[in-house]
Amino acid sequence: MKLILKWLLSAVALLAVAYIYSGVQVASFGSALVAAFVIGLFNVILRPILVVLTLPVTIVTLGLFLFVINALLFWAASGVLQGFAVQGFVAALIGSLIYSALGVLIEAALGGLFAKA
């Protein structure tokens, strides 16, 4: 139940990103659902590989390169989907920062909602 709710709220967060920032466009809620799924899939499969491969750069930049990895995955998701578009790398960076901030809020809300007693 928590996973489905997180997926739905992530799609809403993606719509909010498109509403807040004009560099990201989402055509519909269905497109947002698919995009949230693909972004989540990329974060589970590709992100750990990229983090390990870029570990020296990440260490030198004191972890700031992780923002670049997030932006690249956000941008890559827009490249493979229709109905979800990002205008460029800077738009992907800003969009991924907003999306990540909303994701932290979602996790906090769901953590409180599904807290084990």
In this predicted structure, the answer to whether residue 116 has a pLDDT above a threshold of 70 is no
Average model confidence (pLDDT) across the chain: 92
pTM value? 0.88
What does the DSSP 8-state code read for residue 84?
A: E
Residue pair 34/81 in contact (Cβ under 8 Å)? The answer is yes
In this predicted structure, the answer to whether residue 113 has a pLDDT above a threshold of 70 is yes
Q: Pick the residue with more confidence: 101 or 1?
A: 101
In this predicted structure, the answer to whether residue 117 has a pLDDT above a threshold of 70 is no
Distance separating alpha carbons of residues 38 and 84, to the nearest angstrom: 11
Give the length of the chain. 117
